[in-house]
Amino acid sequence: MEQNCCCCGRPIPDNEYGTVRLKDGQLVCRDCADKTRILYPFRYTYVLTKGTIASGWTRKGEAIYDNTIQGQRIDPLKEMTAEKFRAAMEESLKAAEAQAALYAGAKAVIEVDYVRRYFANIGTKEKPKYSKRKRFGVFGKVVHGELITGAEVVVSHKDKEYSAKIEELQDRVGTYAAGAPVGMASAGKEVIIMFGQGMDFVYPGDTMIVR
């Protein structure tokens, strides 16, 4: 059953990615939720859980399961009521205005955590063959503005500028490297930014800017 966002009133499709159900059961649409991430980002933690595949058996024939560590994403918005979320929205909009003044002229700003290269297997599992095509992922956090697929980012080092076009933007959904493709990410969101070129000019701690 389709419901309306308790903040902006927009109808929310049942399968819309990024919606949040609040503590009192009301729904927040993806757009409104994203606007608050600048102050209420996801938190990440590790959880010790019981494995699902038996690692051995006792003499009585009982299965033995080892514990495994899994990454978990915690959403602080789910702990809010609709009233508290509306107050959080007002605070977040003020914070976004302050960031806009700090990064005047920039459409988006990203703080880099680290860079990873991806190798695509174009062969089989038995006979792997890896593509020579360059594909790099920059893990980071959007600290200002809205980042979109196709945008060009700029990085400066020693008075020299380097640029690259975003091939794909992924929402970082856990403590590991998994990502869900998205078209846009706003301030406060942790993302994986995919590029189809070498990114050896980007380092942890760098700031990438979209003008």
Do 87 and 116 lie in one domain? The reply is: no
Residue 78 — pLDDT band, cuts 50, 70, 90? very high
Do 158 and 179 lie in one domain? The reply is: yes
Do 80 and 116 lie in one domain? The reply is: no
Do 118 and 189 lie in one domain? The reply is: yes
pLDDT on residue 177: 47
Per-residue pLDDT reduced to its tens digit, 133-146: 888 999 999 999 99
Do 88 and 110 lie in one domain? The reply is: no
**87-121: string of b/e by CB count within 10 Å (b at 16+)?**
ebbeebeebbeebeeebeebebbbebbebeeeeee
Residue 43 — pLDDT band, cuts 50, 70, 90? confident
Residue 80 lies in a domain: yes
Do 115 and 191 lie in one domain? The reply is: yes
Do 142 and 181 lie in one domain? The reply is: yes
Containing 89, the helix (H) or strand (E) segment is: helix 82-102
pLDDT on residue 45: 78
Per-residue pLDDT reduced to its tens digit, 51-66: 666 666 666 667 666 6
Q: Which amino acid is at 139?
A: F
Bridge partners, 63 (sequence order): 57
Residue with tokens 């959080």: 88
Most confident of 52-66, 80-94, 181-195: 80-94
Q: How many CA atoms lie within 13 A of 190 on its CB side?
A: 19
How many domains does the chain contain in total? 2
pLDDT on residue 26: 95
Do 87 and 153 lie in one domain? The reply is: no
> Given 28, 59, 92, which residue is the final one in a domain?
92
What value does the mean pLDDT of the chain take? 87
Q: Which domain holds residue 14?
A: 3-42+76-92
Residue 164 — pLDDT band, cuts 50, 70, 90? very high
Lowest-confidence segment of 28-32, 63-67, 185-189 by average pLDDT = 63-67
The residue ranking higher by pLDDT, 116 or 130, is 116
Q: Beta strand pairing status for 168-172 and 179-182?
A: antiparallel
pLDDT on residue 175: 44
d(CA 177, CA 174): 7
